[in-house]
Structure 1
Amino acid sequence: MAREKRREELYVTVPSLFRCPISMDVMKSPVSLCTGVTYDRSSIEKWLALGHKTCPATMQTLPSTNTTPNLTLRRLIHLWLSHADGAQASPPSCISKQQAAEIINGEFNSDSLAKVIGFITASEHNLKFVALSDNSISRFVDFFAKSNEIRICEQIVEILDLISPEIGVRERLNKLILKSGDGRDCLSPFSLVLQKGNTESKVKSAKILKLIAINPESQRKIAEKPGLLYDLYNLSTVETDTSAVESGLSALLTISTTRPVKKDLIRFGIVRTVGKILSGYDHSPPVRAAIEKALAILETVATCTEGRGAISEDGECVVEIVKRLMKCSGVATEHGITVLWSVCCLARDRAAQEKVAMVNGLTKVLLVMQSDCTANTKQMCGELVKVLRAKSTKSNLAPYETRTTHITPY
């Protein structure tokens, strides 16, 4: 009887990864900070509302207080809860290390991969066991390259995403996925998931692609894989989930380091897409990351002549950039100023200058200039003021001196 009672207690033990580090309760809406630590949304929002600027678990200073929904963990928690019926049911993670090792070294199928996922999420110790195993990552990647079943590909992406934060995993994934000359194609399955997978799997695929793009060579391989660049772009256009949009843009931002890639994005319609993102989202914290990435990718394409031309031609996009200044975050505002400076000052596009002036852009730029922005941004604001002053139709702003230390917000 004692043994049976002990067994039941083990069955209902909550996996440590499912507990919020603040409340220690099972998370209902897990979200991650930029430090990579996940908390329950209500707990971390209370922490941030008190004025804290640090990660509670690591005490690192937060460069950004934006949170990203941890869709993988949320689904796993729901799966675990659905299997836990009081003390009579066991969570889907009740396999031993020996059983996990046998699965990893044996033949994979959807059921065995589901057991590995449950094993990994049961504890941090289990996660490290899989991540640091001598051949586990190579086995997963090999099977990933051979499989054309969407469910299998989604499960392997889920496993790779779970173990990716461990030290050394990023580099191993980079070498295995992007290895040349062995006849394997480990990038096509990512396209399959991005095209046919569920939203969570698409987000994880974009995250992994960003993770392994650690140098110019790997960035080039990902960008030059036929169709993959467009699949990532498409993720930011067809998905309504802000985390999916942000993930797609974030991956694009990482690999868009060469002019040919930027030109491809312009051809796809990235300028129009960013304009829609800026006009369609509200100002709430959950969408800040997506807006920041949208403006960052626009800043990237503005570094080439074709990009500045496309932005100047899309008057609506220019207008939306002006509207977003000072209304999202300091990071987004600085990206927006850089884009406006690129088309109005560097390219000296008159149509763009007039569009900015028509929507009270001069006042917005002056507000940014008086804010706590970087010295480089202040310099760009000063040059924008000179250009926009001549275009402004507001006589009270035309003679404005950029040395003024205060203006009244409108």
Structure 2
Amino acid sequence: MVLGWGRRKNSHRRGRKPEMELVIPNHFRCPVSLDLMKDPVTLSTGITYDRESIERWFEDGNYTCPVTNQILRNFDLIPNHTLRIMIQDWCVDNKQHGVERIPTPRIPINPAEVSEVLLHIKASARRSDPFGCSELVQKIKRWGEESERNKRCIVENGASGALASAFDAFANDSVETHAGVLEEILSALNWTFPLQLEAQKCLGSKASLRCMVWFLKHQDLSGKHKAIVALKELLSFGDQQNLEALAEIEGVNELLVGLINKGISPTITKASLAVILYMVSSSYPSCGKMKTAFIETGLVSLVLEILIDSEKSQSEKALGILDSLCTCEQGREKAYGNALTVPVLVKKILRVSALATEYSVSAIWKLCKNGDDEGERVLVEALQVGAFQKLLLILQVGCGDYTKEKATELLKLLNPYRAGLECTETADFKNLKRSF
């Protein structure tokens, strides 16, 4: 039996007889995917599969030959060059039917090759040889671009640690002198995430952090993108030493807020929000001082404007930042002075995600908990934009313990003010007078 190519030639046109459907010979098809094989390889059982399909089969935890169901004693994949040439010839013969010739596959790299290149990358960095290191990094990138299998092989054999070590070495020497190779390394690092422990330590050094901040200040869009993404990845592990070291770099708060304010690109904006969130929501010794520095840059007003119209990921990060800033008095003062604060926070409850709801309820609670005049004003305004209804709904649909506790406390605080106040939900901010 043979299976169809999946497309018929036009038939019945001008009364002609239907033409035969182009078919792919069965022995050209992978037994797993049933697609035309691009890189046929043979197992020890003698059955041939497409390399990508059989590797995925093994990665899923299978230890047998899919056709014979035999347990494999080895997982060697022997290229079937004869069959591959036959498939390529068949493609050429059927070019008129829209079949494209399958290119000759490159030989996949192996762990030994990767380890050797990574050792040379470290050695060239120790010698302060930017040209030699750059060539090796480009080789790693070319390998990774050839196939997902190559990329996995590179990552699994310690690429992130070797690249981060080289980055730290060149950053310690001179950022300005080695900017080219440093950006090349960052580019390769960007697809080796998540970072291994060695890479975390190297990228978290003072020299590496200062280098990434320098990139954010002085490099073009591509350089900024690579640096902020790497910085976000590094801080995501929650190492307080990295957060402290970054906070000590002069002007880093103004720089990050400026990247968001300029709206250079969605990726940079999102990554910058993530970096700020890590910096203001941790418990490292100078966190309070860093919050104050961010507040003085106008960050409260900026995240409120972002929240008016933003997608899920940006909303969660912006709400997380606002909630963290409301833990200190200066942050609450800025929030009290902005007409968008209460309507935006109430609007985001149950509108974005469970995490966004948690941040919104927490921020409102922090603005109301002190029982002063400003807190009372927030309670009244929250009632007028439908907070009571939403908080009741939160308890009904279910939520985390923290959110449930804060929602219950807010309902108690709101209840005395309900008489005579209209509780309506509104999502219309166009008539609000902004404070910026």
Q: CA deviation at 1:347?
A: 5.5
Q: CA deviation at 1:337?
A: 0.3
Query: What is the number of residues matched between the two proteins?
Result: 311
> What is the alpha-carbon distance in structure 2 between the residues aligned to residue 240 and residue 395 of structure 1?
43
> What is the alpha-carbon distance in structure 1 between the residues aligned to residue 345 and residue 264 of structure 2?
20
> What is the alpha-carbon distance in structure 2 between the residues aligned to residue 299 and residue 91 of structure 1?
52
Q: Does 1:108 align with 2:123?
A: no
One-letter identity of the residue aligned with 2:350: M
One-letter identity of the residue aligned with 2:312: R
Q: CA deviation at 1:243?
A: 3.9
User: Which residue does 1:189 correspond to in 2?
Assistant: 211
User: Which residue does 1:250 correspond to in 2?
Assistant: 274
Q: Does 1:381 align with 2:407?
A: yes
Question: How do 1:336-375 residues align onto structure 2 when only pairs under 5 Å count?
Answer: 336-346=360-370, 348=372, 349=374, 350-375=376-401
Question: How do 1:135-284 residues align onto structure 2 when only pairs under 5 Å count?
Answer: 137-145=164-172, 146-148=174-176, 150-165=179-194, 167-173=196-202, 177-178=205-206, 185-195=207-217, 196=219, 197-198=221-222, 200-211=225-236, 213-215=238-240, 217-239=241-263, 241-256=265-280, 257=282, 258-281=287-310
| Seq. identity, % | 20
RMSD: 3.8
Larger Cα-atom Rg: 2
Q: TM-score, normalised by structure 1?
A: 0.64
Greater RCO (CA < 8 Å, at least 6 residues apart): 1
Q: Does 1:87 align with 2:103?
A: yes
One-letter identity of the residue aligned with 2:171: F
Structure 2 vs 1, CA of residues 170 and 213 (structure 1 numbering), >3 Å: closer, same or farther?
farther
> What is the alpha-carbon distance in structure 2 between the residues aligned to residue 126 and residue 274 of structure 1?
39
> What is the alpha-carbon distance in structure 2 between the residues aligned to residue 241 and residue 147 of structure 1?
25
Equivalent in 126, 149, 152 of residue 154 of structure 2: 126
CA contact (8 A) 2:167 2:203 kept: no
CA contact (8 A) 1:243 1:290 kept: no
Q: Does 1:332 align with 2:356?
A: yes
User: Which residue does 1:404 correspond to in 2?
Assistant: none
Structure 2 vs 1, CA of residues 188 and 91 (structure 1 numbering), >3 Å: closer, same or farther?
farther
Q: CA deviation at 1:333?
A: 0.4
Question: How do 1:391-406 residues align onto structure 2 when only pairs under 5 Å count?
Answer: 391-392=417-418
CA contact (8 A) 1:341 1:380 kept: yes
Q: Deviations over 1:82-110 (max 9, x none)?
A: xxx96279799999544554344232345
One-letter identity of the residue aligned with 1:382: T
Structure 2 vs 1, CA of residues 387 and 132 (structure 1 numbering), >3 Å: closer, same or farther?
closer
> What is the alpha-carbon distance in structure 2 between the residues aligned to residue 380 and residue 343 of structure 1?
12
Q: CA deviation at 1:278?
A: 0.9
Q: CA deviation at 1:246?
A: 2.9
Instruction: List gaps (5 residues or longer) in structure 1.
Output: 1-7, 25-84, 179-184, 282-286, 399-410
The 3-state SS of whatever aligns with 1:266 is: helix
CA contact (8 A) 2:203 2:209 kept: no
